[in-house]
Amino acid sequence: MMNMKSIAIGAALRGSAGLGGGGSDTSGPLGNVDSLIILQRPARNDMGDIFQYTSYIPGARLVKLSPPTANGKLTTICCADQGPDYANIDISSYDISFDAKQIVFSAKLSDSTPYGLFLLTLADGSVVQLPTDPGHDFVNPIFLPGDKILFNTNAVVSNTLTDVNPPQHEDEYERGTTTQMGTMNLDGSDVEYGPRNLSHRTHPSLASDGRIIFTNWDHLGPENQGDLMFINSDMTGLREAFGKEGTAASNSTLKAIEISPGRFVAIGTARDRTLQAGALLDVRLGIPSTDPSTGVLSADSMMSEANASYVLMSPDVPLDNSPSADTIGRYYDAYPLNAGEHPDLLVSWADGPVESGVLSEAGLNANFGIYLYDSSSMERHPILDDPAMWDIFARPLEPRNAPPTTSSQVDNTSNAAQALVGALDVYDSTLHTFSTTPYQPGAKGEVYGVRIMEGFSSEEGFPEMFGTTMFEGHADLGIARVAADGSWIAHVPANVPVHLQAVDIFGMSLFNEPVWFSSRPGESRLCGGCHENRATTTVIQPGLLQAFSIGPTDAMSLVPRANRLSTDAVEADPNADPTTIVGVAWDKAVQPIFDAHCISCHNGTPGPANPSYTITDPVTMTSTTWTFDLTNKPVTMNYGNGMIETYSASYFTMAGPDMEAIERGMLMISGDFKVYMNPEDAHGSIVINKVNPTQLFPAVNASVRAFPGQTPHSVEEGYTELTPTEFYKLILAADMGVNYYSRENNPHGTY
């Protein structure tokens, strides 16, 4: 197969001579399109992972290609003629208005300024900078119905009643300040920021039903991927779309654009080292259905993650971050021109390896050009390729219909600091089957309640790692009791990322939802179950949901962020009320348990009570031997690849070494290696199994054990039994990610 980059620019387009060869034939997928708008950015190799947005090299421009052919006329429309202020501009993205008369774009005017938003009027070429916060970046703008703009920004949303000016979250790897959603009027007024995810939200686009589809970084321990989600135009109603239930083709799916209702073209790729480029996906979210009386898409449409599938439209392109081959390359973005079974696409494609590491070693940059892609034959037909520039985001300059404005899920009568979350029936789940054997008369099954946990990251002054397990910071906001019909509701702080665990009467997680979510002030987020079938409609029958009769649990919804932590007295007290434990600081809450009950035997002295294992570097043949030790002595682990960590001996013993560092350094582990405390899995943790907790909820019952028939370690070894509070501290330490740091032992003391 010949290299498509080497084809002459005037090559004829198969089946459409007028498009490729400059003739008068108006047939073909671009036959009725007068012009294309294209963004040209200087080539670069510093994009970071797919969520980063700060790459700046001056010299970008917006151009118009008329007609949209390889020999069409190319005209710069921004910003060569807009004055000296725009001489060093970099443009990262743009969108065309519904009437095709304006373009909104994100641009950075100099190395010392952030990315802001600009409005270009095509009739006279005038550009207006919209008034945005000068201390933050505003990127990925799109037009919304009602003369509004939606964007991503690293400006922070605060809950002004409880959390004044909190820092914006930082992502897990690059430690970039995360981008979230926001909206404004077309003149820049009435700026509103949406609720925060713990990691980035990026690449929004508008669907025909008025919702926004975008890529959400889901990071929660081993969960580390970019999935598609929907949100209403007022940034309420967050809902899964594609990728969270094992439906995705790759680690991350991004830049989704609607082909037809329930169907999107998107880029499938790895999270990092791919210059945000990858394979072409035809994502299908199910069977769209319409109301026969109105012809409007039904609320109970089968479009959902539960029914999602995909068609790989470029099967040779890697879906991970392995180097792509010559003539295969990678795609930066795609725009559908029709909705056939094999749609024609405007694509941006670069030949050969498009992985930042490979390119850096060779001293090269990727060269993205614009092509018409026939997804039936998988042929590319060149339209524009400036070898000095990235030619990306080709869009027809033509009017389009504005979708309807979506409804809001905000109850304006609610407290402006709170959001209401809950479920109709926690036992309704597509990801887990709960036992329906009641733990007590009147209960529906084994679930006692739903634990609600807040997430935070190193933006609050922490070291970059909270421990060796790759989990971010956690705070236990409380357990919402599940009613006899399986329902539960709770008030939670608005604009705060939280995630949920169904827990049993021992306070141990039965199932952990591996996602963060957040809600706007006054928003009501009630789902059907515990990650239930998202294809069904959540219908609440007034008066029939027992959780509403009981009333919502208050999960610290009105407690300021600086106070959402355990007091020193609670951390140190082995008999404190378990429900007052918020964070589990290892040195303050866990270590005293080991000091009181364990270290007389488990003190690092090799022997039957203290097994050992060895970590070996097979290249240097150097090794480190670790012996079971529950004392508080500080230990530094050097993994030999630049990663050095210092924690207590007890923490390294329970959590184990950083397995990502072990894998990255290709180190070997031999001997009696065990992880004694599993992240978010107290039930499966060796240490929890050994101590065999007693029932904690709804009341302590010392005669009921978590593991019936198993002798507790205290009885075997003759030490004093743990208190209910000590049991729960160990359980929370496991179920909240086995972290060393929490707000309660933040070494920098800031919140």
Domains of the chain: 4-19+32-191+199-396 (2.120.10.30), 418-573 (no CATH), 586-745 (no CATH)
Q: Which amino acid is at 577?
A: D
| pLDDT at residue number 24 | 39
Answer yes or no: is pLDDT of 539 > 60.
no
Q: What's the confidence (pLDDT) of residue 380?
A: 96
Task: Determine what percent of the chain is predicted with pLDDT higher than 90.
Answer: 64
* pLDDT score, position 160: 65
In angstroms, rounded to a whole number, what is the distance separating the alpha carbons of residues 223 and 212?
Answer: 23
Least confident of 98-112, 321-335, 426-440, 712-726: 426-440
Instruction: Tell me the two tokens of residue 352.
Output: 């050969």
Please tell me the distance from the alpha carbon of residue 238 to that of residue 517, in angstroms, as a whole number.
8
- More confident position, 109 or 464: 109
23 or 416, which is more confident: 416
Give the other-Cβ count within 10 Å of 485's Cβ.
16
Helix (H) or strand (E) holding 597: helix 591-597
φ and ψ of 653, to 5 deg: -65, -45
Q: Is the pLDDT of residue 1 over 50?
A: no
Closest to 113 in 3D by CA, of 151, 83, 87, 80: 87
pLDDT at 5 over 80: no
Q: Where does the pLDDT of residue 663 fall: very low under 50, low under 70, confident under 90, or very high at 90 and above?
A: confident
Give the pLDDT of residue 47: 76
Percent of the chain with pLDDT over 70: 90
pLDDT at residue 21, as a whole number: 32
Distance separating alpha carbons of residues 585 and 45, to the nearest angstrom: 41
> What is the rounded distance in angstroms from the CA atom of residue 371 to the CA atom of residue 205?
21
CA-CA distance, 678 to 656, in Å (whole number)?
Answer: 9
Residue 44: other Cβ atoms inside 10 A:
15
Question: Per-residue pLDDT for 40 more than 70?
Answer: yes
Task: List, for residues 470-507, the tens digit of each pLDDT value.
Answer: 899 999 999 999 999 999 999 999 999 999 999 999 99
| Distance (Å, whole) CA 188 – CA 193 | 13
pLDDT attached to residue 624: 86
- pLDDT digit string (tens) for 246-281? 778 999 999 999 999 989 999 999 988 899 999 999
Residue located via tokens 């979230």: 180
Average pLDDT for the chain: 88
What is the reported pLDDT for 209? 92
For 609-643, what is each residue's pLDDT tens digit?
999 999 888 888 888 889 999 999 998 877 776 67
Looking at residue 663, its amino acid is E
Query: Length of the chain, please?
Result: 751
Six token digits for residue 106:
């994100």
Return d(Cα 528, Cα 670) in angstroms, integer: 46
Q: Is the pLDDT of residue 545 over 90?
A: no
Helices marked H in 363-408: none
Token pair recorded at residue 605 = 């002295």
Q: Which of the 8 DSSP states describes residue 578?
A: G
Sign (positive or negative) of CA dihedral 219, 224, 225, 228: negative
* Helical (H) or strand (E) element with 546: helix 546-550
pLDDT category at 366 given cuts 50, 70, 90 is very high
User: Residue 561: phi, psi to the nearest 5?
Assistant: -55, -40
Q: What is the pLDDT of residues 406-427, one digit of tens each?
A: 888 887 766 778 899 999 899 9
Q: Give the N- to C-terminal CA distance of the chain in Å, as an integer.
A: 58
Q: Could you give the C-alpha distances from 171 to 56, 460, 518, in angstroms and in order?
A: 20, 12, 16
Give the integer Cα–Cα distance in Å for 413 and 395. Answer: 43
The identity of residue 256, as a single letter, is A
pLDDT digits (tens, 9 = 90+) for 293-330: 666 655 445 566 767 889 999 999 999 999 999 999 99
Q: Rounded to whole angstroms, how far apart are CA atoms 81 and 125?
A: 8
The pLDDT score that the predictor gives to residue 674 is 92
User: What is the CA angle 128-133-139, rounded to 5?
Assistant: 70
- CA pair distance 642, 619, nearest whole angstrom: 15
What is the pTM for the complete model shown? 0.90
Is 213 a residue whose pLDDT tops 90?
yes
pLDDT for the residue numbered 667: 85
Strand order in the sheet with 102-108: 90-96, 102-108, 116-121, 126-129
Q: Could you tell me the maximum CA-CA distance found in the chain, to the nearest angstrom?
A: 93
Cis preceding linkage at 134, omega within 30:
no
In contact, 104 and 122? CB cutoff 8 Å: no
Q: What is the dihedral of CA 73, 74, 78, 81, to 10 degrees?
A: -70
Report d(CA 224, CA 69) in Å as an integer. 41
> In angstroms, rounded to a whole number, what is the distance separating the alpha carbons of residues 740 and 634?
12
Q: What is the mean pLDDT of residues 214-220?
A: 90
Which helix (DSSP H) or strand (DSSP E) does residue 146 occupy? none
Report the C-alpha dihedral over residues 441, 445, 446, 451, rounded to 10 degrees: -100
Residue 531 has pLDDT above 70, yes or no: no
Closest CA to 506 of 571, 447, 550, 547: 447
Helix (H, G, I), strand (E, B) or coil at 686: helix
CA distance 361 to 409: 50
Residues paired with residue 395 on neighbouring β-strands, in sequence order: 37
Contacts of 162 (CB under 8 A, 6+ apart): 417, 493, 558, 559, 560, 561
Distance from C-alpha of 505 to C-alpha of 509, rounded to nearest angstrom: 10
Mean pLDDT (whole number) for 220-231: 89
3-state secondary structure 167-213: CCCECCCCCCECCEEEEEECCCCCCEECCCCCCCEEEEEECCCCCEE
What pLDDT does 139 receive?
A: 97
Residue bearing tokens 């480029």 = 277
The Cα–Cα gap between 358 and 350 comes to: 14
Query: Which residue spans within 109-169 are E strands per DSSP?
Result: 116-121, 126-129, 138-144, 148-153
Measured between alpha carbons, how far is 334 from 395 in angstroms, rounded to an integer? 9
Three-state DSSP at 304 gives coil
Cα–Cα distance for residue pair 57/43, rounded to 1 Å: 8
Does an H or E element contain 511, and which?
strand 509-512
Q: Decide if pLDDT at 467 tops 70.
A: yes
| Helices first, then strands: H and E counts in the chain | 10, 39
Maximum mean pLDDT: which of 5-9, 44-48, 72-76, 222-226: 72-76
